[in-house]
Each structure stands twice: as C-alpha cells, then as structure tokens.
Amino acid sequence: MKNNVRSFLRFIWALTIFVSCSKQIDPPESNDLGKTGLVFATDDQLNQLVLSSPLSLGNLPDRVDLSSQMPPVGDQKTQSSCTTWATAYAVGSYFKHIREFTNYAYDKNLLSPSYVYNQIVQGNCTGTYFYDNFNILINKGACSLEDLTYDDTNCDIRNNSAHDALAAKNKLLKFEKVNKHDLFNLKSLLYSGLPIMIGVNVDASFDNL
C-alpha cells in the first residue's frame, strides 16, 4: 500500500488546486481592504483550466489534516506577495517534502517566494494571480530559500542562470480548478495528499486577529 501511495504521489506530486469557480465579488471601495497580495482570477484564466475529476477512493475518513506536513508559516511582511508564499513556499515546499522526505528546519528545503514573485512583478511590487505563480512553477520551478533569500523591501532581485538550474529540480506538473460544491471531491483530494488553495477578500481587521 505504501509503495502504491508513494508511486501515486510521484506521478502527481505537482498537482495543485485552487478554488475560484464562481464569479468574484467586487471588493469594497474603501481603504479598509487588506493589502495581502492576491489578485483574483479572471474568467479567461479560469476557462483555460481543467476541472479536477473526483478521485475514486471509496469511503473516506471523518477527518484529514495536512497541516502537520506543511512548512512553517512564513511572513510576507510589507510586500504584497502572499499568493507566492501560498504557492511557491507553502505548496511547492510541501510537494518537495513528501517527494524527498526533506526537513523543513533547513532553508535549502524551502522554496523561495522571491524567485517566483520577482519574475512576475519585475520591480513593481503589486499583487499577483495564482495563475501566473503556477505558470512560473510549472515552466521553471523555484530555487530554495537558501539559494535566494526573501527580501520584502526589494522585488527587483532577479534570478540568474544558476538559480534557474536549481529551480528546474522543483517544477510542478500542473494545477487544476475544483468545483467547490463537490464536497466528496474536495475531501478525496485532501485525503490523497493534494492541498486545495482558496482566495478570499479580507479587510484591515484581518491583521488584528
């Protein structure tokens, strides 16, 4: 059973999913909207994505929790890079961890948000789409946090050929959208070790939790 699960994970280790199938609600027109960094997907982006199919796993347990296998929570600080922290750092590091049995205590086993984020914004430290982050992770991967440290005051630190060579070892295979109303599919994906990413609007009170 362990070998089958391990082979299954190797085959789809790069499958990552985000939920944004319904039309987004316009954000509040006040300055209370929190500066987090997610730009919601456009209809065109969503239409290009494959809808994830339910995984036939039969009966599911009452509870599944992937948090113990996730990397330590990071801090985007003043930079609008939360989407990249969620995709490259959290999900990317997670798949590296389950594929290579890495130890999160070392920066060499955590993927660098700066490698992905800086390529997208190119010095203009704005928010980003899930879509653009995953395209970088699929086409180029991401080097480690040890290879390119995070600097929230500078989003113009460019990757070089050495970074690209290291990043290529950590490419993702694909990402798909899910039907947020298909509860069995959502549960089966989590049970299979596949995280589901969501995006929500928050206001300034989010920082005061």
pLDDT of residue 56: 67
Cα 130 from Cα 42, distance rounded (Å): 10
Given a cut of 60, whether residue 137 has pLDDT beyond it is: yes
Mean pLDDT confidence for 187-206:
88
Q: In what order do the strands lie in the sheet with 174-177?
A: 174-177, 15-19, 196-198
For residue 15, report the phi and psi dihedrals to the nearest 5 degrees.
-70, 115
**Is 57 or 205 the better-scoring residue by pLDDT?**
205
**Is the CB of residue 180 less than 8 Å from the CB of residue 22?**
yes
CA separation for the pair 52, 186 (Å, rounded): 9
Q: What does the pLDDT average to over 112-121?
A: 97
pLDDT single digits (tens) 40-76: 999 998 999 999 987 767 788 888 899 999 999 999 9
- Measured distance CA(133)–CA(121) in Å, rounded: 10
Least confident of 40-44, 117-121, 167-171: 40-44
* 76-100 confidence digits (pLDDT tens): 999 999 999 999 999 999 999 999 9
The two three-digit tokens of residue 192, written as one number:
């299979």
State residue 204's pLDDT score: 78
| Fold of the 8-22+35-57+74-200 domain | Cathepsin B; Chain A (3.90.70)
Q: Residues 6 or more apart from 183 whose CB is under 8 A from it?
A: none
